[in-house]
Amino acid sequence: MWELARRVPELTFLVVAIAVAYAAMAMFSAVEHTEVLTANEMWLILAASFLFSTLIAIVAVLGGVGGGVLFTPVMLGFTNVDTLLIRSTGLVVAMFSGLVSSGPFMRKGLADVRLVFYCAVPIIVGAILGAKAAIVMADAMGATGDAIVRLMLGALLIFIAVMFVVGGSKTEYPVPRSLDGLSRRLGMRSTYWEESLAKPVTYHANRVLPGGLLFLAVGFIGGFFGLGGGWAVVPVLNLVMDVPLKVAAASSGVLLAIGNAAAIWPYITKGALIALFAAPWMLGQVVGGILGAHILARIQAGFVRKILIVLLFLTSIKLVVRGAETLFGFDVPLV
């Protein structure tokens, strides 16, 4: 831990600044009690949000997904917070660990900047359309819209969890049998240094058109539900576009940050992202994102992945039940 603190001084400064900030907020709070919450409870919510966000970021980095996949369903399933606020904050959670990991991934040559820019265009367009659709639906449908969102998200989570279970077919270094015409013309050929093999690995992105169309859909779903798209970006890059797994994982974080950066502006300008509520989640993602990237090599990622699958299944059940209860007016005990 000390070694990490010395090697990444900016992380140390940030953690100290956050600790001082929360201590000052506890000791010199000018916030008054309300009928709903005491000043201490408000502080506790913010501090717990920061810690929970840090944990989510570490698990998300180790599990190879964006933090939004955990944050949004858990908050929608287990709290009363408005769905639009959760989804806008979910985009913050989904993008900030990707933002801080962009530096190391790009410097190591693991993320491919040309591939990222090509895929960024459809994912941004999809994400903005998704965010706009979410705001329109929330304004037009109210509680019914909330219930539909919970129900659809529950179903989507079951799909994602199943995808993780059967996702063992990913190939580390896919070799395309033949390149399609457009891929050949775009010439997205690149080489990166594979540390584990101690030699360079060359790859050629393939099926760029279907890949681009899939990114449009991934962007829309991520922007609409506030999930980000980490759960889908890696499989599309690896399984559809024949990009090596390591490059796919690194490019996924960078791509998500770009896609969500565009999707989040409609939420910000329409007041659907509340600064005080989102701030601890953002800070937790930055700290957890850096920590997760550094401890990645020392922990068995497979174990974290199993925890992630269990969490996704449990949360999906809760979401489906909550959505169905509101929509059809019945009550399911014990869930």
Partner 1 sequence: MTMRDIEKKLEQKIERAEELLEREAKQVGEAIEREAVQIEQAIEHGVERVEEVLEHELERPTVPKAAVLYGDIVYWGTILGSFVTVLGSILAFVTELNYLEPELVLSAIWEGRGVDEVWEQAGGKRPDGHWYVEHLTRGDGLTMAGIALGVFVVVPGMLASTWHLLRERQRLFAGFGLTAAGITVAAMFA
Residues 163-202 that bind partner 1 (CB under 8 A): 186, 191-193, 198-200
310 binds partner 1 (CB under 8 A): no
Residues 270-289 that bind partner 1 (CB under 8 A): 270-280, 282-283, 286
- Name the helix (H) or strand (E) containing 270: none
Q: Where are the alpha helices (DSSP H) in the chain?
A: 2-7, 9-27, 39-63, 68-78, 83-107, 113-165, 181-186, 208-225, 230-235, 245-269, 275-295, 301-328
Length of the chain: 335
Residue 7 CB, nearest distance to partner 1 (Å)?
Answer: 14
**How many angstroms from the chain centroid is the CA of residue 185?**
32
256 binds partner 1 (CB under 8 A): no
Distance CA 264, CA 95 (A): 9
Nearer to partner 1, 269 or 300 (CB): 269
Buried b / exposed e over 239-251, threshold 16 CB at 10 Å, is bbbbbbbbbbbbb
Which region among 10-18, 157-165, 168-176, 239-247 touches partner 1 (by CB under 8 A)? 10-18
Residue 158 CB, nearest distance to partner 1 (Å)?
Answer: 25
100 binds partner 1 (CB under 8 A): yes
Asked whether 259 and 224 are in contact (CB, 8 A), the reply is no
CA distance readout (Å), 8 to 13, 81, 97, 287: 9, 35, 16, 11
Nearer to partner 1, 95 or 236 (CB): 95
Which region among 117-125, 153-161, 241-249, 296-304 touches partner 1 (by CB under 8 A)? 117-125
6 binds partner 1 (CB under 8 A): no
257 binds partner 1 (CB under 8 A): yes
Interface pick for partner 1 out of 4, 5, 31, 299 (rule CB under 8 A): 31
Residue 275 CB, nearest distance to partner 1 (Å)?
Answer: 4
Residue 324 CB, nearest distance to partner 1 (Å)?
Answer: 18
From residue 215 to residue 254, the character string flagging contacts with partner 1 as x (rule: CB under 8 A) and all else as - is ---------------------------------------x
Q: What does the radius of gyration of the chain's CA atoms come to, in whole angstroms?
A: 20
- Report the 10 Å Cβ neighbour count for 268: 14
Tokens of 132: 């706009």
CA distance readout (Å), 115 to 29, 107, 206, 296, 298: 48, 15, 11, 24, 29
25 binds partner 1 (CB under 8 A): yes
Residue keyed to tokens 């900016």: 10
Nearer to partner 1, 124 or 309 (CB): 124
Which one, of 322, 329, 333, 334, lies nearest residue 151 by Cα?
322
Residues 127-156 that bind partner 1 (CB under 8 A): 128, 138, 142
80 binds partner 1 (CB under 8 A): yes
Interface pick for partner 1 out of 54, 65, 74, 112 (rule CB under 8 A): 112
Residue 162 CB, nearest distance to partner 1 (Å)?
Answer: 31
Asked whether 229 and 221 are in contact (CB, 8 A), the reply is yes
Interface pick for partner 1 out of 51, 82, 148, 213 (rule CB under 8 A): 82
Nearer to partner 1, 107 or 298 (CB): 107
Which region among 64-72, 166-174, 203-211, 261-269 touches partner 1 (by CB under 8 A)? 261-269
Distance CA 89, CA 140 (A): 21
